[in-house]
Amino acid sequence: MDLFNNLALGFGVAFTLQNLMYAFVGCLLGTLIGVLPGIGPLATIAMLLPATYALPPVAALIMLAGIYYGAQYGGSTTAILVNLPGESSSVVTVIDGYQMARQGRAGPALAAAGLGSFFAGCVGTLILAAFAAPLTELAFKFGPAEYFSLMILGLIGAVVLASGSLLKAVAMIVLGLLMGMVGTDVNSGVARFSFDVAELTDGIGFIVIAMGVFGYGEIISNLSKHESEREVFTASVSGLLPTKEDFKNMIPAVLRGTALGSILGILPGGGAVMAAFAAYTLEKKTKLRPGEMPFGKGNIRGVAAPEAANNAGAQTSFIPLLTLGIPPNAVMALMVGAMTIHNIQPGPQVMTSNPELFWGLIASMWIGNLMLVILNLPLIGIWIKLLSVPYRWLFPSIVLFCAIGVYSTNNTTFDIWMVGIFGFIGYIFIKLGAEPAPLLLGFILGPMMEEYLRRALLLSRGDWSVFVTRPLSASLLAAAAILLAVVLMPSVKAKREEAFVED
Amino acid sequence: MNIKSQKDFFSGLMFMVVGVAFAWGASGYTIGNGARMGPGYFPLVLGVLLAVLGAVITFKSMVVETVDGDKVGAFAWKPLIFIIAANLVFGASLGGLPSIGLPPLGLIVGIFALTFIASNAGEEFNFKEVTILACILAVMSYAAFILLLKLQFPVWPAFIKA
């Protein structure tokens, strides 16, 4: 059994005292920061990324995985307790979770989210381990044309998930791709769009964009609202564990959510958000048991299912990253950045060239999940206290952590000037209702897309039909077209807008 | 012709301007052809694409009705300026500004400057509270980033160390 041998190898790597500690610290930090209102996993990872620079690669990735799960769970905690989705994937958790909290059932809601996530995480890890190898084989069959088509599919997927206008999301992706063009062209050595600034010949740092647009842009927009609009409501949490009745309702919901999340997570661009929405929709379609709360009024299934789906999706979204080297969403794009910093080029070769790293990471994801449950269930009371920190103390701290994070990436003040510019740009994006997440994805994929397009067309002697005559490439493009068509269908379009209305 | 969605109108304009700028910039590099793409090829295609998307968005914003006109609303200049300024001053403290002869003042000075400037962005500014916050942040950052993570920062002003 290869699967078990591999997992054993992975656990052998991950179960050192040192790595367990990093997983724990990562989880703790991730939860600590992710639980702050308005800071999602993306900003959390961007902020904590520099903390992992000094570590050996395996430890760094393990810690990052811990941060990721911590941040995601932290986001759900804020969603349930104070009606603030810290990230887009916990938008649905808010609906029933906050209602439960208002009825004094925050404990069961938090427990349902935690336990559901843990179960989904376990299943997700197994799926990841089982499918990673065959998918890697497939990845070796990929030529430049296939990679290019896959990236198109990924970008279309990201557009589908962005809230608001589809057209604007596409435009943001293109803008991101263009920003990725800044810097030295690898083929000709020409410094493009660098305006003779020496620092720009290396391109714009992705941390700079992530921090500026997500961190500062978000803070400025928060501060522009009056205090009453962002008032934080602290509910008293009484009774931690769900009742027997709750468990009865919750278990099938968790199973359904896990299944949905695992499938949707694998699709490039799918990821956690779509999984959560789909799972909630599915639960709403199933019949209510006698005596059960209706949805939207505090039904525990409305918390458990999306949270499970969200976590399963988060887990399986590592598959395209680790096997194909293609980030399916903005968070994974940050992970690519982190890997590159540690001299690991994500892609099919990681599994063969670095099996300890690959399987160690998979095992550590499971450990990260376990840490979450251990850490969070008993500590819920503390997270609530953290939420009562006034925003006027919070935001200078966030600004500081962003600035330190940016500076420490390259130890240059140039990045700090850049992040100031991007903070301004990010605020404009928010004012114009243009979502920045697709931009970051485009930015990461830009240089890769250009390179694959160049190679594909070089091999075909300039013949564009290569993208549709190669079966793998053609089916990827077809999938992208179908995805786009489905979203543009009037009925789905209305639903999608309804689902994102909370944003 | 009146604007039905202000947000879309202006974002469309922004995309058009940026797209044209990139395409114009790209045309200064070798374009090449499909089989031999020059450095200008991909940016030119993307720039044109972005400009077209921007045009469509702008067009739609003048045709498709919205409920409330999608107003952009007033800019929050106060937080915008103070947050960005705090960030820039922090950078200047760490690196110094040779052009005006400012020596690097180091992390601790930077933290105090950043906290005081950034706090002005909020609705209330309480001197005592901000001072305490700055002290806490300075101690925490020193412990976490310098002692624990051993990041390479100038901690104290350059002239004290020298």
Q: Which long-range contacts (CB under 8 A, 24 or more apart) does A203-207 make?
A: A203/A447, A204/A179, A204/A418, A204/A443, A205/A409, A205/A410, A205/A415, A205/A418, A206/A333, A206/A334, A206/A337, A206/A440, A206/A443, A206/A444, A207/A46, A207/A49, A207/A337, A207/A405, A207/A406, A207/A409, A207/A415
Distance from CA of B103 to the nearest CA of A (A): 13
Nearest to B50 among A51, A171, A220 (CB): A171
- CB–CB of B7 and A464 under 8 A? no
Axis crossing angle, helix A166-181 with helix B6-26, rounded to the nearest 10: 30
Retrieve residue A479's tokens. Answer: 């999938």
Q: How many domains does chain B have?
A: 2
Distance from CA of B94 to the nearest CA of A (A): 7
Whether B107 and B156 map to the same domain: the answer is yes
A194 to chain B: closest CA residue: B25
Q: How far apart are CA A389 and CA A394, in angstroms?
A: 7
Helix (H, G, I), strand (E, B) or coil at A97: helix
Residue B22 at interface with chain A, using a CB cutoff of 8 Å: yes
- CB–CB of B11 and A190 under 8 A? no
B16 to chain A: closest CA residue: A171
Domain annotation covers residue B38? yes
- Pick the closest to residue A183 from A171, A191, A172 (CA basis): A191
A186 to chain B: closest CA residue: B39
Q: Domain boundary at B63, B94, B111, which? A: B63
Residue pLDDT tens, chain A, 503 long: 577 777 777 777 777 888 888 888 888 888 877 776 556 677 677 777 777 777 887 788 788 888 888 887 877 777 777 666 556 566 677 777 777 777 777 778 888 888 888 888 888 888 888 877 777 677 667 778 888 887 787 777 767 655 567 888 889 889 989 998 888 877 777 778 877 777 777 778 777 887 788 777 777 877 777 655 554 444 455 566 677 777 778 888 888 888 888 877 776 555 566 677 777 777 777 777 766 777 767 788 888 888 888 888 878 877 777 777 777 666 777 777 777 777 777 777 777 777 777 787 778 778 888 888 877 777 766 666 665 667 777 788 878 877 877 777 677 788 888 888 888 898 898 888 887 777 877 887 788 888 888 888 888 887 888 888 888 888 888 988 887 887 776 655 655 555 554 33
Residue B118 has pLDDT above 60, yes or no: yes
Higher model confidence: residue B7 or residue A269? B7
Buried b / exposed e over B115-150, threshold 16 CB at 10 Å, is: bbbbbbbbeeeeeeebeebbeebbeebbeebeeeee
Residues 93-112 (B) with a CB less than 8 A from some CB of A:
94-95, 111
pLDDT grade for B55, boundaries at 50, 70 and 90: very high
Q: How far apart are CA B92 and CA A10, in angstroms?
A: 45
- CB–CB of A170 and B53 under 8 A? yes
* Cβ count near B27 (within 10 Å): 12
Whether B82 and B146 map to the same domain: the answer is yes
Whether B153 and B91 map to the same domain: the answer is yes
CB A442 within 8 A of CB A247: no
- CB–CB of A400 and B111 under 8 A? yes
CB A214 within 8 A of CB A42: yes
What beta strand segments (E) does A364-462 contain?
A: none
Retrieve residue A154's tokens. Answer: 């990924």
Retrieve residue A52's tokens. Answer: 């992992």
Residue B50 has pLDDT above 90, yes or no: yes
Whether B150 and B85 map to the same domain: the answer is yes
Question: B22 to chain A: which residues are within 8 Å by CB?
Answer: 178, 181, 193
Residues 46-65 (B) with a CB less than 8 A from some CB of A:
46-47, 49-50, 53-54, 56-57, 60
Q: How far apart are CA A106 and CA A404, in angstroms?
A: 35
Distance from CA of B21 to the nearest CA of A (A): 10
Whether B82 and B41 map to the same domain: the answer is no
- CB–CB of A417 and B88 under 8 A? yes
Nearest to A178 among B43, B78, B88 (CB): B43
| Interface test with chain A among B137, B151, B152, by most A beta carbons within 10 Å | B151
Higher model confidence: residue A411 or residue B32? B32
Higher model confidence: residue B97 or residue A115? A115
CA A359 to chain centre: 21
Complex ipTM value? 0.88
pLDDT grade for B48, boundaries at 50, 70 and 90: very high
Domain annotation covers residue B18? yes
Retrieve residue B82's tokens. Answer: 């103070």
- Pick the closest to residue A119 from A359, A362, A310 (CA basis): A310
pLDDT grade for B47, boundaries at 50, 70 and 90: very high
pLDDT score recorded for residue A84: 60
Question: B72 to chain A: which residues are within 8 Å by CB?
Answer: 431-432
Whether B84 and B59 map to the same domain: the answer is no
Helix (H, G, I), strand (E, B) or coil at A36: coil
Whether B37 and B100 map to the same domain: the answer is no
CA B2 to chain centre: 32
Domain annotation covers residue B69? no
CB A98 within 8 A of CB A290: no
**Is residue A228 classed exposed, middle or buried when 0-12, 13-18 and 19+ CB atoms within 10 A define those classes?**
exposed
Q: Which domain holds residue B18?
A: 6-63
Residue B17 at interface with chain A, using a CB cutoff of 8 Å: no
| Interface test with chain B among A431, A443, A451, by most B beta carbons within 10 Å | A431
Q: Domain boundary at B16, B35, B63, which? A: B63
Q: How far apart are CA B41 and CA B26, in angstroms?
A: 7
| Interface test with chain B among A404, A415, A459, A466, by most B beta carbons within 10 Å | A404
Helix (H, G, I), strand (E, B) or coil at A192: strand
Retrieve residue A429's tokens. Answer: 């994006």
- CB–CB of A171 and B53 under 8 A? yes
Q: CB under 8 Å to A455, separation ≥6 — which residues?
A: A144
Nearest to B122 among A223, A403, A461 (CB): A223
Q: Which residue has the tokens 């690519």?
A: A336
Question: B54 to chain A: which residues are within 8 Å by CB?
Answer: 171
pLDDT score recorded for residue A463: 83
- CB–CB of A216 and B83 under 8 A? yes
- CB–CB of B87 and A416 under 8 A? yes
Please name every residue paired with A436 in a beta bridge, in sequence order, or none if there are none.
none
**Is residue B162 classed exposed, middle or buried when 0-12, 13-18 and 19+ CB atoms within 10 A define those classes?**
exposed
Domain annotation covers residue B17? yes
Q: Domain boundary at B63, B85, B112, which? A: B63
- Pick the closest to residue B114 from B146, B132, B92, B87 (CA basis): B87
CA distances (Å), origin A352, targets A162, A184, A349, A357, A412? 35, 31, 5, 10, 36
pLDDT score recorded for residue A503: 36
| Interface test with chain B among A52, A170, A181, by most B beta carbons within 10 Å | A181
Report the run of H or E that residue A191 belongs to, with start and end.
strand A191-192
